[in-house]
A = this chain, B = another copy of it.
Amino acid sequence: MSDQILTRMRNWITNCGLTDGARLPPERTLCAELGVNRTELRKALLVLEAEGHVTRHVGRGTFLSKAPKSNKGGRIDDTIVALAESTSPFEAMNARLVVEPQIARLAAMHATPKHLQELRRLTAQMRDASTWARYEELDGAFHEMIADAAGNTLLQAVHKIINRVRLVVVWRKIDTTAPGPTAGYHSFAEHDAIVDALERRKGGDAAAAMQAHLDSTLAAMTAPHHDSDV
């Protein structure tokens, strides 16, 4: 059913005669026009948004995208699994060490206050993580947020590829039921140092802090009989 309305919306968009960047009618108007309720329409709009065909802003409206096709991580899955088959955990960590400090350096120049605020929020949440699995997720979000802040689409995609390969390769070693990190966990302070450098707009410091963070993470992986870090 929802598939049907999605198709209708696609057709409507191609036939409505609106050019790129134009604003669509409000949701409630479109509902009446297409004869569906708002929930159904919003489901279709959500998919169109995920595909990059439209963008939406509270209070402003829904707009046709100018660059309709951005990939947003859709079909790189095949790439990931193929790469994961021939990559070792050590290689994955080394790739991180190559890319992430430089990304942090760029982020120091391009991060918006919104980015910094989100990073602070994530560091706080990580301190409250009750399981390792939960912590891993937040940590992943933290690093992805920095990649986003760097403001380079290609580098962001590269970062995402490296990290997802790493997750596939390294995941099995993690006990998802284990209790979360303790209060003095080394990554907490390291994350703080990274965000501090970003806030002060010190690219060199941010790169160094990121490198130190990844180094100690790698050391934790190498260390004997000790829970893995990330």
Contacts and interface: CB of A to CB of B under 8 A. Distances in A.
A98 B87 contact: no
Copies in the complex: 2
A37 interface: no
Interface string A177-201: 0000000000000000000000000
Interface in A85-133: 85-88, 91-92, 94-95, 98-99, 102-103, 106, 118
Secondary structure class of chain A's binding surface, majority of residues: helix
A69 to B, nearest CB: 5
State which size class the interface on A falls in. 35 or more
Contacts of A4: 141, 144
Contacts of A11: 137, 140, 164, 167
Contact of A51 (B70, B74, B144): B74
Nearest to A88: B153
Interface in A1-20: 1, 3-4, 6-8, 10-12, 14-15
